[in-house]
Amino acid sequence: MAFNPAVSDEPPSHQPVSFAAKADLCESDIFARHLQHGLLIPQVVDPTGALLYTHDNCGLRTGVMLSALSLKWSVTREPEARARAAQTAAALRMLETVTGVPGMTARQYKKMQGPGHDEHPSWLSRQWHQGPVYRWLGNVSTDEMTWFLAGLADYVLLCAEGRERARSVATINRVVGRMLDHGMRIVEADGRTTTWGDCSRESAREPLFCLHGLHYLKVAEVCTDNPRFAAAYEEYASDAHYLEQAVHCYKLGRAKRCWADYDWELATPGFDFLLRHDSDPARRDLLTQGLLEMAAAPNANLHPHLCTATFGLGGKEQVREWLAQFDPQTADGVSKGWYHWIYWEARSAGIITPTD
């Protein structure tokens, strides 16, 4: 019988009552059915390996999962959480390795000779590259880069030790270093800026990309202890226009009609990391103002509220309501990944308890 990715071979079960039970179910299902070469995809993987699926946001989704597992380890110290985090970090680091260019990452890789069965015509159709073993998708955007770095940063700071930590630190150093070499732009092998990769001071694609630039530099500064990144962060953060664009990325983005529905989950990791690690009180006050602007938006999704709740600025009720309403039985792999991360972010911040 042909494999149907939309059909589960597991018997239906009752939705778990507790937040923790739902998080456990999401994690178990992801590792059982939604990892392809270690990368998180929304489809149910083919257990025979005959079909390999395309998903152009693998770097983002897998980074979210690595962050969740690192947070889980920091709370529980469960050996399985650390082992799964190491497995996930290896898959994420492979996004750099497959390109053959130090510091350049891919969106996805598939161990195959292509093209694949589901590589349908799209704006990324010409961005596939074929290597001797792996087929990989280029033209990486800030969507991918944000969670690639957020996941590795949480792994380095909360979970990894020894060689594992050193490998991830080296990856961050190369990736952000390559961006900085090109004026904080994500670039292809030939030096061309990717479609959604310009975080430069001169020509940042949109206000949100200024927040990304500061986020990436601070991640590299904190995780690598390389003074180059500390100096670059101060240079960029001291640029009044660049900082204003970053702080008010939601308000300015809306005014310019360049704020997308998914930008909430791309902005909040930057606000969170900068509020934790920027030592300048005046900048932290400005960043808090920008975060509260986002959270006050009438159409804001859960992410800004989770971030404000983390810093004691309101939003706990929205987080609890979202966790209560989530049904893992009807969710795809990506949605389960988000629940898993939101649960462990909330647990690590003390927003919820193990018995909720």
Over the stretch 254-290, which tens digit does the pLDDT of each residue have? 999 999 999 999 999 999 999 999 999 999 999 999 9
46: Cβ–Cβ under 8 A, 6 or more apart, which residues?
Answer: 3, 5, 52, 53
Tell me how far apart the alpha carbons of residues 151 and 155 are, in angstroms, rounded to a whole number: 6
How many angstroms from the chain centroid is the CA of residue 22? 21
| Spans of the chain, pLDDT less than 50 | 1-13
Tell me how far apart the alpha carbons of residues 304 and 268 are, in angstroms, rounded to a whole number: 6
222: Cβ–Cβ under 8 A, 6 or more apart, which residues?
Answer: 153, 157, 273, 277
> Domain 21-115+124-348: which topology?
Glycosyltransferase (1.50.10)
Tally the C-alpha atoms within 13 A of residue 269's C-alpha that lie toward its C-beta: 31
- Residue 136's DSSP bridge partners are 109, 129
Predicted confidence at residue 196, as pLDDT, reads: 98
Domain definitions of the chain by residue range: 21-115+124-348
Predicted confidence at residue 114, as pLDDT, reads: 84
Over the stretch 130-166, which tens digit does the pLDDT of each residue have? 999 999 999 999 999 999 999 999 999 999 999 999 9
Tell me how far apart the alpha carbons of residues 195 and 140 are, in angstroms, rounded to a whole number: 8
* H-run or E-run covering 309: helix 302-310
DSSP secondary structure, 227-289, as one string: HHHHHHHHHHHT-HHHHHHHHTHHHHHHHTT---TTTHHHHHHHHHHHHHH---HHHHHHHHH
Helices (H), 78-201: 79-97, 142-158, 162-181
Tell me how far apart the alpha carbons of residues 123 and 120 are, in angstroms, rounded to a whole number: 10
Predicted confidence at residue 5, as pLDDT, reads: 40
